[in-house]
Amino acid sequence: MTRENMIRAIAGTFILASTALGAFVNPWFLAFTAFVGLNLLQSAFTRWCLMEDILKALGVKGACDGQEAASTAGGVTGDE
């Protein structure tokens, strides 16, 4: 699973879990749901996500990892 897919899975899990906790345990858990939603919204504009940095530090590969080496392996430098 790529880093991008893991971010979506984690965000979805957080939203479902906090919504259930808000419905059955304490309504204040819905604040966490709002926090996750706000984080998703800000990451759409800033292209920065803390969870992405955490997963990258843990060594989870992204969808584009390794493509830079593959694209330059053909010997094309763009300096022609």
pLDDT per position as a tens digit, 31-65: 999 999 999 999 999 999 999 999 999 999 988 88
What is the average pLDDT value for the chain, to the nearest integer? Answer: 87
Token pair 């593959």: residue? 70
pTM of the full predicted structure? 0.75
What pLDDT is stored for residue 11 in this prediction? 96
Cβ atoms within 10 Å of 30's Cβ, excluding its own:
14
Q: Is 56 in contact with 62 (CB distance < 8 Å)? A: yes
Amino acid residing at 8: R
The CA R_g of the chain, rounded to the nearest whole Å, is 18
CA 13 to chain centre: 12
What pLDDT is stored for residue 80 in this prediction? 45
